[in-house]
Amino acid sequence: MSAGSAARTRSDTPGRLGMRLFLASLGMVFAATIAGYLVVRARAETWPPPGVPVLPRTLWVSTVILLASSVTVAAAQRGIGRGEQRTLRAGLALTAALGVAFLVSQTVNWFALVAAQLTMRTNLYGFTFYLLTGLHALHVLGGLGPLLVVTRRAFAGRYTATAHAGVANIAAYWHFLDIVWLVMFAVLLSAW
C-alpha cells in the first residue's frame, strides 16, 4: 500500500469525488431550469394564467413518498455502517419501491392535469410545470437503475460495514433528488 493510499480516507475516494462532481453538474441543470421558470414567471402579467387548474393535492402525496424514500435509504446506509445486512437490504428494497411509487404518483398528477386541460401545449405555465416535474421524474427513473444494482449487490452480500461505497453513493444521489424536489415543489406552490 502506498503512502498516498494509506493516507486517503474513506471520504475522499475517487468514486465519492465523482459522485460529488456529478451531483454538482446536476445541481446546475436543475438550478438553470428553476431559474428559467422564475424568469418566465416574473415576466408574466399574471401567474398562473387565468383558467389554469389548481395544482393537484396529490403532489403532496408525491412529496411524502419521496421524503419517506430518503428516510429508508438513510436507514439502509446507517444499517450497513453497523454491519446490519438485513437493515441494508430492507432499506434499499423499500427505497426502490418508494421510488416507483413516486413515479406512479407523478403520473397520476400529470393525468389529472391533462384531464383538467393543462398540457405542455396549453400555455407557458403548462410547459414549465411539465418541464420541471418531468426533468425530476427522469432523474428518479434514472436513479432507479443504479439503486436496483446496489440492492441486488446488497442481497448478494457484497457490502460490509467497512466497504459500502455503492450504498453511500446511491444514498447521496437519492437525498439530492429529495432536496431538488423540495425546492421545485416550494417554487411551484409559491405561485398559488
pLDDT digits over 31-90, tens only?
999 999 999 999 999 999 999 999 999 999 999 999 999 999 999 999 999 999 999 999
Amino acid at 69: S
The helix-helix angle for 14-43 and 124-155 (nearest 10°) equals: 160
pLDDT of res. 15? 86
Q: Are 182 and 70 in contact (CB under 8 A)?
A: no
Residue 7 has pLDDT above 80, yes or no: no
User: What are the boundaries of each domain within the chain?
Assistant: 11-190
Average pLDDT over every residue of 13-39: 94
DSSP-derived secondary structure letter, 118: -
Residue 139 has pLDDT above 90, yes or no: yes
Neighbours of 63 (CB within 10 A): 18
Indicate the pTM of the whole model: 0.90
The helix-helix angle for 58-81 and 124-155 (nearest 10°) equals: 30
Reported as a single tens digit per residue, the pLDDT across 80-134 is 999 999 999 999 999 999 999 999 999 999 999 999 999 999 999 999 999 999 9
DSSP-derived secondary structure letter, 159: -
pLDDT of res. 12? 55
DSSP-derived secondary structure letter, 55: P
Q: Are 100 and 140 in contact (CB under 8 A)?
A: no
Report the percent of the chain where pLDDT is more than 90: 90
Residue 4 has pLDDT above 60, yes or no: no
- CB neighbour list of residue 83: distance below 8 Å, 6 or more residues apart: 160, 161
d(CA 35, CA 14): 31
Cα-based angle 105, 70, 170 (whole degrees, multiple of 5): 105
H-type helices in the chain, by residue range? 3-7, 14-43, 58-81, 85-115, 124-155, 165-190
pLDDT of res. 134? 97
Q: pLDDT-derived band of residue 9, with 50, 70 and 90 as boundaries?
A: very low
pLDDT of res. 191? 82
CATH superfamily entry for domain 11-190: Cytochrome c oxidase, subunit III, four-helix bundle (1.20.120.80)
Q: Are 80 and 88 in contact (CB under 8 A)?
A: yes
Q: pLDDT-derived band of residue 14, with 50, 70 and 90 as boundaries?
A: confident
